[in-house]
Amino acid sequence: MPPMALTGIVTKAGCMQKTATVTVSRHVIHKLTGKRIERSKKILTHDEQEVLRLNDTVLIRNCPPISARKRFKLEKILKSPETERDLAHMQAAQQS
């Protein structure tokens, strides 16, 4: 399989060791009506350091099979709402 990078949102993290579930969405055009339809797929992703949290936006890349269902590794965290909130609280505490 050629190298493939996908962007998705973490929907489940912390339940399985070194594994997170990432939902990857894409839009397709319906052939008959011409409307946009959202298609999504849940992918098990290998998270070696267990740094992923719920609702993180991540970039994942395919790799050789790690287990029976894991075929992707975490490449990079693009956006983390919980981390951003923690940083905002720290900055507010420093200013006051």
pLDDT tens by residue, 43-87: 999 999 999 999 999 999 999 999 999 999 999 999 999 888 888
Judge residue 59's burial from the number of C-beta atoms within 10 Å of its C-beta, 0-12 exposed, 13-18 middle, 19 or more buried.
Answer: middle
Sequence spans of domains, the chain = 5-95
Q: What pLDDT sits at residue 1?
A: 61
User: If one looks up domain 5-95 in CATH, what number appears?
Assistant: 2.40.50.140
Q: 76 Cβ partners below 8 Å, 6+ apart?
A: 58, 59
- Strands (DSSP E) contained in the chain are 5-16, 19-29, 36-46, 57-62, 72-79
